[in-house]
Structures are given as C-alpha cells and as structure tokens.
Amino acid sequence: GPQGRHPRRGHPRGRCQAAGLTTAVAYLGIDVGTSATKAVVIDTDGRVLARSRVCHPSARGVGPGRADPTAWRSSITAAVAQLGSYAAGVAGIGLDTHCPTALLLDAAGRPLAAGVTWDHPGLAGPTAELIATLSADERRLTGNHLMPATAMGAAYRLFQQVEPEALSTATT
C-alpha cells in the first residue's frame, strides 16, 4: 500500500505516527496455555516487537482436573520479564487462558488451593445439580450450552467437598 498506510486497512499506520509523535504505542499480549505461557509485544501495525515463551509443566501436575495457579503466575512473570524493555509502558494488556478454572483467593489475591479446572472428574455431579436448579428460561438466558466448561459456578459445590478449609477462608 501507499507509504505510511497500513497495508490491509488503508488507514494511517499508527496514531502516534499519524499525529507526528515520536513515542510508539505498543500492546502486550499474554496467552496462558496448557503447557506454557506465551507473551508478545506488538505495535499499532501489528508488528511483533518481542516475544517469549515459558513452560509451566507443573501447572497440571497437582492432580486430575486441578491446576497450580502459582505455576501460572511464575510463568507469566518470567515471560513478561523476558520481553525486557519492550514490556515497559505498554498502552494495554490482553490476557487469554486455555480453560475455565475456578480459584479460591485470599484478600490479597493469593491462591489458597489448587484450582478446579473444567475437566475435574468430580465436577459433573455438581454441574448437573446446578443446572437442575435453573428453569428453561434461566438456562436459555446464560447463552451457553451448560456443561462443566461453561457452568464453573458449580465448582463452588465441589470446593465444599474437596477444599472446605480453603473455601472457608477465601474472599474471592
């Protein structure tokens, strides 16, 4: 496309460039995947300025349908640190995760127990119980086909069984 225009969109490349400013705008994207956290810094044109990947193999090593949120936190911190100065002063952050996970947190946001993921073998029963309490209209209003992956509120009932002490002290 013409000089100074985005090749696919045809509009000026970046707000800062279009306004004649010298400060570049950048965005940080973080993807917490099943086995690793990936991070990327892009500019307003979508050009990758820096990227990183940090594995978190221990995240799912705490039992079937459980996840260790401290492994995720560590991999996010390390992935962002690997981006160096590119991550400083970004205009926005986008975060994506690989699966629904219910966490019990204290008042400071620290995890109190391993999270319950959508595939926990004990989640089917509480999910069915939760769904049974809803009318057809209420189920329709959720906008989702209700199952363990979309009805994570049922994890509260599972936490009552598997993590009663952590649940009693959780604030979030």
Instruction: Calculate what percentage of the chain has a pLDDT beyond 70.
Output: 87
User: Do residues 123 and 65 lie in contact, with contact meaning Cβ atoms separated by under 8 Å?
Assistant: yes
Arithmetic mean of pLDDT, 65-85: 95
**Spatial CB neighbours of 105, under 8 Å, sequence gap ≥ 6:** 111, 112, 170, 171, 172
Name the band, by pLDDT with cuts 50, 70 and 90, for residue 143.
confident
Give the pLDDT of residue 34: 85
In angstroms, the first-to-last Cα distance of the chain is 50
d(CA 25, CA 15): 8
User: Which has the minimum average pLDDT: 26-35, 58-67, 101-110, 141-150?
Assistant: 141-150
Label the pairing between strands 101-102 and 66-67. Answer: unpaired
Name the band, by pLDDT with cuts 50, 70 and 90, for residue 8.
very low
Arithmetic mean of pLDDT, 117-132: 92
Arithmetic mean of pLDDT, 130-134: 91
pLDDT tens digits, one per residue of 18-72: 444 345 799 999 999 988 999 999 999 999 999 999 999 889 889 999 999 999 9
Arithmetic mean of pLDDT, 146-170: 91
Residue 146 has pLDDT above 60, yes or no: yes
pTM (2 d.p.):
0.74
Q: Which sign, positive or negative, has the C-alpha torsion 73, 76, 77, 79?
A: positive
Q: What angle do CA 111, 116, 119 make, to 5 degrees?
A: 155
What does the mean pLDDT of the chain come to?
A: 86
**How many residues does this entry show for the chain?**
172
